[in-house]
Amino acid sequence: MASESDRPSSLRGTSMFERRMLVVGVVFAVVLGGMAARLFSLTVVMGSQQRALADSRLDRSTLLATVRGSITDRKGRVLAESVPSYDVAIFYPAINGAWVDTRAIAAAKKAVGRAAWNRLGPAEREERIEAQRQGLAAELELVLNEVATVCHMTRDELSAEMGSVRMHVEKKASAVWEARLEIDRAKYGEDAEGQFDTQPIAEQSEAHVVKSGIETASAFVLRKLADAHPGTIEVQDSTRRVYPWASARIDLDRSNMPRPLRGGTLKLDVQGIADHVIGGVRHEVWRQDLDRRPFRTVGSAGDVSVDLGGYRPGHDTVGSYGIERTYEDLLRGMRGRTTQRVDTNETTRTEPVLGSDLQLTLDIALQARVQALFMPEVGLARAQQWHYGWDNDGTPKQMPLSYLAPLNGAAVVLDVDTGEILSMVSWPTVAVGEDFDDAVRAARHPSVNRAIEGSYPPGSIIKPIVYVSAVRSGVFGADEEIECNGHFFGEGDPFGRCWIYTKQNKYLTHSKVISGPLGVEAAISRSCNIYFYTIAQRMGLRTLTDWYRNFGMGQKLDIGIARWEPRLDEAGNIVGDRLSGEHPGVLPSVQAIAKIESTGDRIVPVIAGIGQGPIAWTPMQAANAYATLARGGVIRDAELLVTPIPGRAARRTGDLKLNPHSCERAFEGLRQAVEEQHGTGNHVSYEDRRPEGVINAPGVMVWAKTGTAQASPLKVDDDGNGTIDRTITGLNHAWFVGLVGDAQEHRPRYAVAVLLENGGSGGKSAGPIANQVIHALIDEGYLQGDPKSRPARKPLQPIGADEVEPTGGAG
Footprint on this chain of another protein (rule: CB under 8 A): 1-2, 6-8, 11-14, 16-18, 20-21, 23-25, 28-29, 31-32, 34-36, 38-40, 42-44, 46-51, 53-55, 57-58, 118-119, 121-122, 184, 187-188, 192, 195-197, 199, 302, 342-344
Q: Which residue number, 44 or 590, has a Cβ lying nearer to another protein?
A: 44
CB of 169 to another protein, least distance (A): 19
**Bond from prior residue into 428 cis (ω within 30 degrees of 0):** yes
CB nearer another protein, residue 24 or residue 167? 24
Bridge partners (DSSP) listed for residue 267 = 251
Nearer to another protein, 42 or 167 (CB): 42
- How many other CB atoms sit within 10 Å of the CB of residue 721? 9
- Extended strands (E) in 689-767: 691-693, 700-710, 714-716, 726-728, 732-742, 750-756
Q: Where are the beta strands (DSSP E) in 14-156?
A: 59-64, 71-72, 78-91
Name the residue nearer to another protein (CB basis): 13 or 722.
13
Nearest alpha-carbon partner for 173 in 298, 358, 258, 277: 298
Of residues 196 and 436, the one with the C-beta less far from another protein:
196
Q: Report, in Å, the least distance between residue 111 CB and another protein.
A: 19
Helix (H) or strand (E) holding 513, with range, is helix 510-514
Instruction: For the CB of residue 21, give the shortest distance to another protein in the complex, in Å.
Output: 5
Q: What minimum distance in Å lies between the beta carbon of 341 and another protein? A: 8
Nearer to another protein, 42 or 228 (CB): 42
With beta carbons less than 8 A apart as the criterion, state whether 202 and 296 touch.
yes
- The answer to whether the beta carbons of residues 762 and 736 sit under 8 Å apart is yes
Shortest Cβ 347–another protein spacing (Å): 15
Helix H or strand E encompassing 66: none
Rounded-to-integer distance, Cα 516 and Cα 518, Å: 7
Strands, E assignment, 519-652: 563-568, 574-580, 634-636
Minimum distance from residue 60 beta carbon to another protein (Å) = 9
**Rounded to the nearest whole angstrom, what is the least distance from the CB of residue 306 to another protein in the complex?**
19
Looking at the Cβ atoms of 1 and 217, the one nearer to another protein is 1
**Length of the chain, in residues:** 811
Instruction: Report in angstroms the alpha-carbon separations of 133 from 93, 126, 204, 301, 692.
Output: 14, 10, 21, 40, 84
Query: Minimal distance in Å, beta carbon 16 to another protein?
Result: 6
Shortest distance (Å) from residue 202 CB to another protein: 13
- Bridge-based pairing state of the strands 358-359 and 71-72: parallel
73 contacts: CB under 8 Å, gap ≥ 6: 79, 245, 359, 360, 362, 363, 364, 367
- Spell out a b/e string for 202-216, using b for 16 or more CB atoms within 10 Å of the CB, else e: ebbebbbbbbbbbee
**By C-beta, is 120 or 353 nearer to another protein?**
120
Say if residue 152 is exposed, middle or buried (CB neighbours under 10 Å; 0-12, 13-18, 19+).
exposed
Nearer to another protein, 102 or 789 (CB): 102
Sign of the Cα torsion 387, 391, 396, 402 reads: negative
Least Å distance, CB 342 to another protein, is: 6
- The nearer residue to another protein, 98 or 439, going by C-beta atoms, is 98
Of 59 and 687, which CB lies nearer to another protein in the complex structure?
Answer: 59
Residue 87 vs 203, nearer CB to another protein: 203
User: Smallest gap, in angstroms, from Cβ of residue 72 to another protein?
Assistant: 47
Q: Where are the beta strands (DSSP E) in 175-262?
A: 207-214, 233-242, 247-252
Smallest distance, Å, CB 443 to another protein?
57
DSSP 8-state code for residue 231:
T
Question: 36 or 167, CB closer to another protein?
Answer: 36
Query: Cβ 721 to another protein, closest distance in Å?
Result: 56
**Nearest residue (CB) to another protein, 51 versus 567:** 51
Q: DSSP letters of 642-674? A: SS--TTPPPPPEEE----HHHHHHHHHHHHHHH
Do residues 247 and 434 lie in contact, with contact meaning Cβ atoms separated by under 8 Å?
no
Residue 451 CB, nearest distance to another protein (Å)? Answer: 55
Q: How far is the CB of 232 from another protein (least distance, A)?
A: 24
**Least gap, CB of 8 to another protein (angstroms):** 6
Helix (H) or strand (E) holding 413: strand 409-415
| CA-to-CA dists, residue 674 to 354, 535, 740, 768, angstroms | 50, 23, 11, 12
Q: Which is nearer to another protein, 191 or 718 (CB)?
A: 191
In this structure, how many other beta carbons lie within 10 angstroms of the beta carbon of residue 686? 17
Beta strand spans in 184-254 (E): 207-214, 233-242, 247-252
Q: Which is nearer to another protein, 2 or 649 (CB)?
A: 2
Q: Is 45 exposed, middle or buried (0-12, 13-18, 19+ CB in 10 A)?
A: exposed
Residue type, 490: G
Residues 6+ apart with CB under 8 A from 57: none
